[in-house]
Amino acid sequence: MDELPEKIQELIAEMDKAAEDEDEDAIKELTQKLQDTGADVEAITLKKLSLLVMDGEEEMTQGWTGVAIQIGMDPFKVLIEGLAAGMSLIGKKYEQGEAFVPQLLIASAAMYSGMDLLAPYMKKDESSRSKAVTVVIGTVEGDVHDIGKSLVKTLLSANGFNCVDLGNDVPASRFIEAAKKNQATAISMSTLMTTTMAEMPKVVKMLENEGLRDKLLVMVGGAPITAGYAVQIGADVSPHDAASAANWLKGAIFDFPSESVRWD
What is the CATH superfamily name and number for domain 6-122? Methionine synthase domain (1.10.1240.10)
Identify the sign of the CA torsion 70, 71, 76, 78. negative
The confidence score (pLDDT) of residue 158 equals 75
Domain with CATH 1.10.1240.10 in the chain: 6-122
**Hey, which residues does 137 pair with through a beta bridge?**
165, 188
pLDDT tens, residue order, the chain (264 aa): 767 888 889 998 998 888 888 788 888 898 889 889 988 999 999 999 999 999 999 999 999 999 899 889 999 889 888 998 888 788 778 778 898 878 888 888 898 889 889 888 876 655 556 667 899 999 999 998 888 888 888 888 877 888 999 999 999 999 999 999 999 999 999 998 899 999 999 999 999 999 999 999 999 998 899 999 999 999 999 998 888 898 899 899 988 887 778 887
The confidence score (pLDDT) of residue 15 equals 87
The confidence score (pLDDT) of residue 168 equals 93
CATH of domain 134-263: 3.40.50.280
Instruction: Count Cα neighbours of 126 within 13 Å in the Cβ-side half-sphere.
Output: 3
Q: Does the predicted TM-score (pTM) go above 0.95?
A: no
The confidence score (pLDDT) of residue 145 equals 81
**Hey, which residues does 189 pair with through a beta bridge?**
138, 220
CA distances from 37 to 8, 9, 33, 40 (A): 8, 11, 7, 9
Cβ density class 232-252: b for 16+ within 10 Å, e for less: ebbbbbbbebbbbbbebbbeb
Domain with CATH 3.40.50.280 in the chain: 134-263
The confidence score (pLDDT) of residue 129 equals 62
